Structure 1
Amino acid sequence: MTISTIKAKGISVSLDLTVGHIADMVVEHGGRRLKPLHRAPWVDTGEALPKDLPQGTVRLSGDFLCAPFSRSDVEEAPLHGWPANSAWDVTESGATEDGWRAVFRLRHKVMGASIDKIFTLRHDHPFLYQEHVFSGGSGAISVAHHPMTVMASGGRLAFSRKRFAATPSDPLEPDPARGRFLLAYPARAVDLSHFPAAGGGTLDLTEYRMDDRREDFVTLVEADHGGPGWTALARQAEEDLVLVLKNPTELPVTMLWLSNGGRDYAPWSGRHLGVLGIEDGRAAVGHAASIGDNWLKREGVATAFALGEGRSISFRHVIGALPQSGGQPPQDITAADGRMRLAAGGSTREVPFDSAFLRIGRPVAG
């Protein structure tokens, strides 16, 4: 195992170079040390794991790049592709005038493209700024980030404006002998607080309850609001606010993975508790589905980037954390003039933020 750690004032991030997963992220803010990201309970314990597990599941941590998202059924690769399952090299890492910048390169190529992962930290900014760059290649690729957070006693969620939420045709765990789910499949709702439940009635997607043992997956489609796409999670026991931001033109969907003791087989074994994946992507489920006809494309949503010799594509993403007591997420998030403004209950909070990083309003190729 090889870990590469980068630091700036108030923040450190460690990348597991064996699989490209963030092994740790620590934000020091307001006299506290916040750890917004999850690491699976079996990682580095030495316990015997099923032999057919992808390396990305063996070392499941933090956040990682999926390319493709889910099934690799066009070019042979493990679940979520080589970027989530194989080695990365450090090609550049060093202090900058205002923080730290590191560049990592995937040893594998994906659809013939080389992939660089760029991490930027800024002094006193409680955020990791990420960019992925695909150079060359051919065909098309679906992509997604896969940040995972974890809660001891649940939390409350808020989002930038979405057109609707929808579940796929089939649940993640349809066999009751192996696991369980709570949402209806397939189903759709405009009101995220009233999503159809498997047993009738509705469930609130803005509330993560620890007594709901489940393995659920739902896709949120961004509305055309002209600002950053964001997810904010107020973790109750942790007394903090986890923030995940994107450019909706680059990554038009946010896929939520609710993993709360809903799988009974190894290595999950009912112990993967309080985990929420906030998976911003340009993808349907599976590579072939993403580049072919799919339900999101019929809704006018892009589900892949086009690759090409002599061209490159890139997309950006931000993960952060702030101390917070009270348990309610912001109602609105805006960014301008080097600040992020979080509005809640008639009051506004501001923190340092690279407001130009997400390139809102920039046209996207592919």
Structure 2
Amino acid sequence: METVTITAKGISVSLDLAVGHIAAMEIEAEGGRVLKPLHRAPWVGSSRESMPQNLPAGTVRLSGDFLCAPFSTSDVEEAPLHGWTANSEWDVVDNGAIAGGRRAVFRLRRKVMGAAVDKIFTLRDGHPFLYQEHVFSGGSGAISVAHHPMTAMRGGGRLAFSPKRLAVTPPTPLEPDPARGRFRMAYPARATDLAHFPLAAGGTADLADYRMEDRREDFITLVEADHGGLGWTALARRAEQDLVLVLKNPAELPVTMLWVSNGGRDYAPWSGRHVGVLGIEDGRAAVGHAASLGDNWLKQEGVATAFELTEGRSVSFRHVIGSVPFADAEPPVDLESADGRLRLVATDGSARGIAFDSEFLRIGRSVPA
């Protein structure tokens, strides 16, 4: 696997150039601990002949985080699932030291809707975060986008979110055929209370609770509330004793799509072994490129689902992934960013601060359509 690794003090990130997936992310913590917040599928590295021949490259090498452009089905411009950004080769354009860290720029060999696509990674000494930006230059039409970070748990965990106004499942589940898999949530369904989302069997479930005993594939979209601050997801992983953090600017990426993949697919290459995985997929998208451009349910809620592309103009959006040691059972109730620190606010009002680039996500700036 051809990868490029960039490092700063206390952190390293490796990119699989064949498909643009993060192959590894390691964060050094106190006491010699090494935190690994991102997941790689158990079949990565197996012989291609051992897997179904129709699998897209991005599934064959499913790892870490990657850019979806479009998100899900490519039914406007021909491409595999999640687009060429998640399935084809990237080149290293720049990789060098910056003041207090490291910066690397990668360029997709293919174009997306006529646009050139750059991926920019920045690591800062002593910061437990990957700061990333994607830039679309030129092109025409519109493109839906989403990040696709995946983490995995051995013993489940608890989630917390920035304020959301709505949670919605699509019309049909990911695995409707009981001979191939299973699901737990009701489809379609919606709720404004994330602690009480409808279940297919009746009753409700707390979306903040990831339980290992619930073997299932589920997908649900969370719509950001108008709160004017950071968009974030925090996951306290029980067995790993850490806190996985995923942050965004809600003006750029107004939805967070949760993919629960906990042994809910019985066919190859999943084969019931993709267990304890959670995708935290911040995006500007509906499910599918054509759906994102059409009159979808999110647009009816006033939520943007694509970026417009224009020759001579660029569009960019930013995203942050990180992890810190964390022994509490409950994740923070709030995250606050200011003066080069990210404050994790606990249920009792106490807070701890960690090094963070407070200007990176540019909260409050205007975002082009």
The TM-score, its normalising length taken from structure 2, stands at 0.99
Shift of 1:130: 0.3
1:346, 1:331 → 2: CA distance?
Answer: 9
Shift of 1:79: 0.1
Shift of 1:45: 2.7
Amino acid at match of 2:36: K
Shift of 1:30: 1.6
Amino acid at match of 1:350: G
Shift of 1:97: 1.5
Deviates more, 1:62-71 or 1:30-39: 30-39
Match of 1:170 among 161, 165, 172: 172
Match of 1:351 among 344, 350, 354: 354
1:45, 1:169 → 2: CA distance?
Answer: 34
1:160, 1:192 → 2: CA distance?
Answer: 12
1:222, 1:181 → 2: CA distance?
Answer: 24
Amino acid at match of 2:118: D
Correspondence for 2:40: 39
Deviates more, 1:151-160 or 1:342-351: 342-351
1:186, 1:30 → 2: CA distance?
Answer: 45
Match of 1:329 among 313, 328, 331: 331
Amino acid at match of 1:109: K
Shift of 1:122: 0.2
Deviates more, 1:23-32 or 1:355-364: 23-32
1:144 to 2:146 alignment: yes
Amino acid at match of 2:358: S
Correspondence for 1:288: 290
Match of 2:123 among 121, 128, 135: 121
Shift of 1:328: 1.4
2:174, 2:105 → 1: CA distance?
Answer: 34
Q: C-alpha offsets along residues 234-284 of structure 1, whole Å, 9 cap, x if unaligned?
A: 000000000000000000000000000000000000000000000000000
Correspondence for 1:267: 269
1:7 to 2:10 alignment: no
Matches within 5 A, 1:1-366: 1-31=1-31, 32-46=33-47, 48-344=50-346, 345-366=348-369
Shift of 1:346: 2.0
Q: Is the partner of 2:194 in helix, strand or coil? A: coil
Shift of 1:118: 0.1
Amino acid at match of 1:346: G
Deviates more, 1:116-125 or 1:22-31: 22-31
2:169, 2:328 → 1: CA distance?
Answer: 31
Q: C-alpha offsets along residues 143-200 of structure 1, whole Å, 9 cap, x if unaligned?
A: 0000000000100000000001000100000000000000000000111111000000
1:97, 1:129 → 2: CA distance?
Answer: 15
1:13, 1:180 → 2: CA distance?
Answer: 34
Shift of 1:233: 0.1
* Structure 1 gaps, min length 5: none
Runs of 4+ in 1 over 3 A off after TM superposition: none
1:135, 1:238 → 2: CA distance?
Answer: 40
Q: C-alpha offsets along residues 195-249 of structure 1, whole Å, 9 cap, x if unaligned?
A: 0000000011000000000000000000000001000000000000000000000
Aligned length: 366
1:199, 1:309 → 2: CA distance?
Answer: 50
Amino acid at match of 2:24: D
2:323, 2:126 → 1: CA distance?
Answer: 12
Shift of 1:46: 2.7
2:35, 2:208 → 1: CA distance?
Answer: 22
1:79, 1:127 → 2: CA distance?
Answer: 28
User: Could you tell me the percent identity over the aligned residues?
Assistant: 76
Amino acid at match of 1:235: R
Shift of 1:327: 2.1
Amino acid at match of 1:132: H
Amino acid at match of 2:42: P
2:182, 2:195 → 1: CA distance?
Answer: 21
Q: Is the partner of 2:133 in helix, strand or coil? A: strand
1:311, 1:327 → 2: CA distance?
Answer: 46
Amino acid at match of 1:7: T
Shift of 1:25: 0.1
1:229, 1:296 → 2: CA distance?
Answer: 17
Amino acid at match of 1:314: S
The TM-score, its normalising length taken from structure 1, stands at 0.99
Amino acid at match of 1:172: L
Q: Is the partner of 1:296 in helix, strand or coil? A: helix
